[in-house]
Amino acid sequence: MTRTATALAAALDARSTTALALTESALDAAREADSRLHAFITIDAAGALEAARAADRRRAAGRARGPLDGIPVAVKDNLAVAGLPWTDGTRAHAQRIASADAVVVERLRAAGAVILGTLNMHEGALGATTDNPFWGRCQNPLAEGYTPGGSSGGSSAAVAAGLVPVSLGTDTMGSVRIPAAYCGLWGLKPTAGLIPLRGLSLLSWTLDSIGPLATCPEDLSLMLAALAGPDPDSPGSVAPPPGWSPATGPRDLSCCRLGLPAQLTEVTCAPEIRTALERLVARAEAAGAQIVPLEMEGWAPGPMRRAGLLVCEAEAAHLHGADIAATPDGFSESYRAALEYGAQTTGLRLAGAYRQLLLAGHAARRALAEVDAILMPTAPQRAFPHGTEAPANQADFTALANASGLPAVAFPLPAPDDGLPCSAQLVGPAFAEGALLALARALHGAP
Amino acid sequence: MTRTATALAAALDARSTTALALTESALDAAREADSRLHAFITIDAAGALEAARAADRRRAAGRARGPLDGIPVAVKDNLAVAGLPWTDGTRAHAQRIASADAVVVERLRAAGAVILGTLNMHEGALGATTDNPFWGRCQNPLAEGYTPGGSSGGSSAAVAAGLVPVSLGTDTMGSVRIPAAYCGLWGLKPTAGLIPLRGLSLLSWTLDSIGPLATCPEDLSLMLAALAGPDPDSPGSVAPPPGWSPATGPRDLSCCRLGLPAQLTEVTCAPEIRTALERLVARAEAAGAQIVPLEMEGWAPGPMRRAGLLVCEAEAAHLHGADIAATPDGFSESYRAALEYGAQTTGLRLAGAYRQLLLAGHAARRALAEVDAILMPTAPQRAFPHGTEAPANQADFTALANASGLPAVAFPLPAPDDGLPCSAQLVGPAFAEGALLALARALHGAP
């Protein structure tokens, strides 16, 4: 399945395929590939086939629910899918069966999407390799033996392998955008609160967002249209402003201002990432975009990423400490150590960490008064082999959107060496998802 | 000076007085009263007289800047007034001269207000008696020997004593509304971010707001109109939505829904506070208001107030720890102990405290989907004598608006025993300041 959700929807509309055919083929492909990929934690064949038949009946009766009706999707395993295991990537919760759908799963079902199952992830969403000690070492479909990124590594692997056209991940410091980058995909972290979090096993209530991964910006729009909107039972949920729309449209780069943070030089980037970004900037300039250097005082990428990690560790210790105490061997030693570190840090350090997030977020919002979007690499390097040490700075660029609550979209860039893909991200003003996707699409397509 | 700013503005417009006359009289009254009241830390006679003369010149030239032009005001000493000491209620900063105005002071000046000086406060804004070890025991003008409340005790004392018609305080857990309550005044805590904080010596970036105190809702509107609006240099500053207005208007109580939280029974209230609130509720019902009981699951007033205090102590330790280390005896032992407690608490506890604030805020926003405002006492008791133990639960009701970032207005209620005034507060939806003031005015005036 290499077609986009948009193309599949057109095929369903044209009766050139059925939801059942798509789902059967996706299930076959998933079962065949997954012993090698480890992208799934649970495949729900029975539920998916039933949902697919229902979608086909709706379509036959002229009551299709929209473009996602009958489209196979899969969601990260920290999201509750009623009746399926809700492991959060841990062994401790291997037997936990979700009693109700997460809001996002409810909304996907309401849009007619066929939930194929739940996707592998870095344990507890705290890490970026998806080398999961309990659920398998998730493989990058573009390069066997390489990480697909994380923590939503199953979400990127399943899409990159063509098992589903779109998936859901969660993004606390970059956990949607980094796997999107490593697998050559598009990934969106929406404005904080736009997609409700009820039914997500939180890592950090301060930084968590749910976001889609796809192979094109149009599919991200489709997903966002189905997922956005307030929920009274989700703390932090907000209503988008009147007129908000996730739709991408044509975007003329000649009237756009792109900000390049001075901080790009503070982060050690792989040469191919620098080259890919420079080429993108050159293409944007050739298309008439104005490139604006940004100071962004108050944002120090490395220290802020460490501050964000400390906030995650402390908040996760509050959220999951009782579960760890009850089932210590249901979690890896390194996960437990990280949460213990957060739990035992001083109030002084933790308060300072929150302060850094606030000031970095302020710097980002302030910069966006001057430009349409902030342009950066998604990650400072490409996917790397499993078993090698994960670069500490993977989230240096992505964490800014979490600290600020601003939307960000990651999109693929051609690799200068024809190797694994590179990736850029745009960070935009609150609730500017549609404009941001349109801008990313225009940049991606700029000759 | 017992007249309101609104009345003084009319008198200035009618040429029945001058800014200079108002200012001279205010300075005389302040100098005469303050050896007893200890409401001021610094009286800036020269600056005030110069500003008053400039206001009179503008008015004579037909270039008056609006209703605050020529009106004497005073601001809490944690707000920077260029050229004046900026002590934050500490001895450590007795010699710190502010090099620039706080945004709010800039905006008051731009509106033509005459800054009389800076007002006494609880040390570091962390406490609610304004029994300041360095700047004097601020007296309640309604009852000598009683606290005016805090931390903005000078701000309530100066208005209640008639030295200025309006003042500025700051409100972290109730520090505008509690002194307003204890002195029979009106006090407003605006939506978080609506009034920019640059130039405020922060206690807690999570909970701090700046707000006005006055003798009537119209004066709070005047002040808010001058103070609200985004500032690019203030982290957390937000633009109000299009159409936002601080103006009060007539409000028909017969089409209003007031929520009474179930939590009212969880907080030990003085009998006269209960009676005063019951009488208000009866008057509201008689006027046709619908009283709606609210569950507000997720808000536990006492535990949440303690959580807020811990957040203050930890954030203040981050903000002021270096100053304390440099000048330990510039701070009281109890202030230092509180910040040390925050600094040394565990990350686990501090994260849990932030989580409580978030869940209580969510409960408040959720309740406001059902009602126009949440109605509660401002404080569980009235002003109490200096030297007696401050009730621990003073901020149990007020802290909810800080945790949620929602606006709240405190307004006086007649005391059942004709003693010191009681006070009620309304908490409303984000950016509903105008509607909230109108509602409070209608309730206050209901027969």
| A379-405 mean pLDDT | 98
Q: Within this chain, do residues B260 and B219 fall inside the same structural domain, yes or no? A: no
Q: Within this chain, do residues B152 and B268 fall inside the same structural domain, yes or no? A: no
Write down the mean pLDDT value for chain B. Answer: 97
In-domain check, residue A394:
no
Question: Measured between CA atoms, how close is B439 to chain A, in angstroms?
Answer: 25
B383 pLDDT tier (thresholds 50, 70, 90)? very high
In-domain check, residue A418:
no
Asked if the Cβ–Cβ distance from B342 to A351 is below 8 Å, we say: yes
Length of chain B, please?
A: 447
Asked if the Cβ–Cβ distance from B314 to A362 is below 8 Å, we say: no
In-domain check, residue B320:
no
Asked if the Cβ–Cβ distance from B350 to A347 is below 8 Å, we say: yes
The active-site residue, picked from B167, B175, B209, B404, is: B175
Question: Measured between CA atoms, how close is A132 to chain B, in angstroms?
Answer: 26
In-domain check, residue B334:
no
Contacts of B346 in chain A (CB under 8 A): 343-347
Question: Does B2 have pLDDT greater than 90?
Answer: no
Q: Is A207 left (phi over 0), alpha (psi -120 to 50) or beta?
A: alpha
| A362-383 mean pLDDT | 98
Can you give the pLDDT at residue B249?
85
Q: Which of A191, A306, A309, A348 to mutate to test the interface with B (most CBs of B within 10 A)?
A: A348
Can you give the pLDDT at residue A249?
85
Single-letter amino acid code for the residue at A231 = D
Contacts of A310 in chain B (CB under 8 A): 347
Q: What residues of A are annotated to the active site? A: 76, 151, 175
Contact A404, A364 (CB under 8 A): yes
Question: Does A403 have pLDDT greater than 90?
Answer: yes
Burial profile A250-264: b = 16 or more Cβ within 10 angstroms, e = fewer: ebebeebebbbbebb
* pLDDT tens figures, A252-261: 999 899 999 9
Q: Within this chain, do residues B140 and B263 fall inside the same structural domain, yes or no? A: no
CA distance B267 to A119: 47
CA distance A265 to A271: 12
Question: Does A29 have pLDDT greater than 80?
Answer: yes
- CB nearest B314 (choices: A232, A313, A351): A351
In-domain check, residue A65:
yes
* pLDDT tens figures, A183-214: 999 999 999 999 999 999 999 999 999 999 99
Of B79, B109, B117, B368, the closest CA to residue B209 belongs to: B79
Q: Name all contacts of A13-17 with Cβ < 8 Å and 24+ positions apart.
A: A13/A64
Question: Does B229 have pLDDT greater than 60?
Answer: yes
Asked if the Cβ–Cβ distance from A206 to B349 is below 8 Å, we say: no
| B303-313 mean pLDDT | 98
Instruction: Break chain B down into helix, strand, coil percent, rounded to 5.
Output: 40, 15, 45
The enclosing domain of A159 has a CATH number of 3.90.1300.10
Can you give the pLDDT at residue A1?
45
CA distance A401 to A407: 6
Within 8 A by CB and 6+ apart from B95, the residues are B85
CA distance A156 to B4: 64
Share of residues in chain A with pLDDT > 90 (%)? 98
Q: Within this chain, do residues B191 and B257 fall inside the same structural domain, yes or no? A: no
Encoded tokens for A338: 């990280």
* pLDDT tens figures, A95-133: 999 999 999 999 999 999 999 999 999 999 999 999 999
Contacts of B343 in chain A (CB under 8 A): 346-348
Q: Which of B354, B358, B370 to mutate to test the interface with A (most CBs of A within 10 A)?
A: B354
In-domain check, residue A395:
no
Q: From start to end of A100-236, where are the E strands?
A: 114-119, 131-132, 136-137, 166-171, 186-189, 209-214
Return the ∠ at Cα B157 (arms to B152 and B163), rounded to 5°. 125
CA distance A45 to A388: 35
Q: Within this chain, do residues B50 and B104 fall inside the same structural domain, yes or no? A: yes
Contacts of B359 in chain A (CB under 8 A): 235
Determine the number of helices (DSSP H) and then strands (DSSP E) in chain B: 13, 13
Nearest CA in chain B to A404: B236
Encoded tokens for B365: 């926003």
Range of the domain at A212: 5-227
Within 8 A by CB and 6+ apart from A226, the residues are A66, A68, A107, A108, A110, A111, A113
CA distance B296 to B406: 15
A2 pLDDT tier (thresholds 50, 70, 90)? low
Question: In this structure, what DSSP letter does residue B278 have?
Answer: H
CA distance to A146, A270, A299, A422, per residue, from A416 (Å)? 19, 12, 29, 9
Question: In this structure, what DSSP letter does residue B125 have?
Answer: G
Radius of gyration of chain B (CA): 20
Question: Measured between CA atoms, how close is B342 to chain A, in angstroms?
Answer: 6
Single-letter amino acid code for the residue at B126 = L
Beta-bridge partners for B292: B259
Contact A415, A274 (CB under 8 A): no
Determine the number of helices (DSSP H) and then strands (DSSP E) in chain A: 13, 13
Q: Mark out chain A residues that contact chain B at CB-CB < 8 A.
A: 205-206, 232, 235-236, 241, 298, 310-311, 313-315, 317-318, 321, 342-352, 354-355, 358-359, 361-362, 366, 369
Q: Within this chain, do residues B277 and B128 fall inside the same structural domain, yes or no? A: no
Contact B346, A344 (CB under 8 A): yes
Q: Within this chain, do residues B210 and B71 fall inside the same structural domain, yes or no? A: yes
Of B212, B227, B242, which residue constitutes the final position of a domain? B227
Phi, psi of A122 (to 5 degrees): -65, 140
Q: Within this chain, do residues B107 and B31 fall inside the same structural domain, yes or no? A: yes
In-domain check, residue A185:
yes
Whether the bond between B16 and the residue before it is cis, its omega within 30 degrees of 0, is no
Q: Mark out chain B residues that contact chain A at CB-CB < 8 A.
A: 205-206, 232, 235-236, 241, 298, 310-311, 313-315, 317-318, 321, 342-352, 354-355, 358-359, 361-362, 366, 369
CA distance B321 to B341: 12
Can you give the pLDDT at residue B1?
45
Write down the mean pLDDT value for chain A. Answer: 97
Of B206, B214, B170, B205, the closest CA to residue B190 belongs to: B170
- CB nearest B344 (choices: A342, A347, A361): A347
CA distance A340 to A345: 8
Q: Integer distance in angstroms from the first to the last C-alpha of chain B?
A: 28
CA distance A229 to A441: 24
Of B316, B351, B357, B358, the closest CA to residue B337 belongs to: B316
Question: Does A30 have pLDDT greater than 90?
Answer: yes
* pLDDT tens figures, B436-446: 999 999 999 99
Encoded tokens for B173: 């857990």
Encoded tokens for A441: 């699409």
Q: Within this chain, do residues B280 and B428 fall inside the same structural domain, yes or no? A: yes
Kindly report the pTM of this predicted structure: 0.97
Q: Within this chain, do residues B273 and B167 fall inside the same structural domain, yes or no? A: no
B15 pLDDT tier (thresholds 50, 70, 90)? very high
CA distance A68 to A125: 27
Asked if the Cβ–Cβ distance from B362 to A236 is below 8 Å, we say: yes
In-domain check, residue A281:
no
Asked if the Cβ–Cβ distance from B351 to A344 is below 8 Å, we say: no
Count structural domains, chain A. Answer: 1
| B105-120 mean pLDDT | 98
* pLDDT tens figures, A410-438: 999 999 999 999 999 999 999 999 999 99
Q: Name all contacts of A158-161 with Cβ < 8 Å and 24+ positions apart.
A: A158/A30, A158/A37, A158/A39, A158/A40, A158/A74, A158/A119, A159/A183, A159/A185, A159/A213, A159/A214, A159/A215, A160/A184, A160/A185, A161/A29, A161/A33, A161/A37, A161/A39
Can you give the pLDDT at residue A248?
87
Question: Does B144 have pLDDT greater than 60?
Answer: yes
Sign of CA dihedral A238, A243, A248, A252: negative
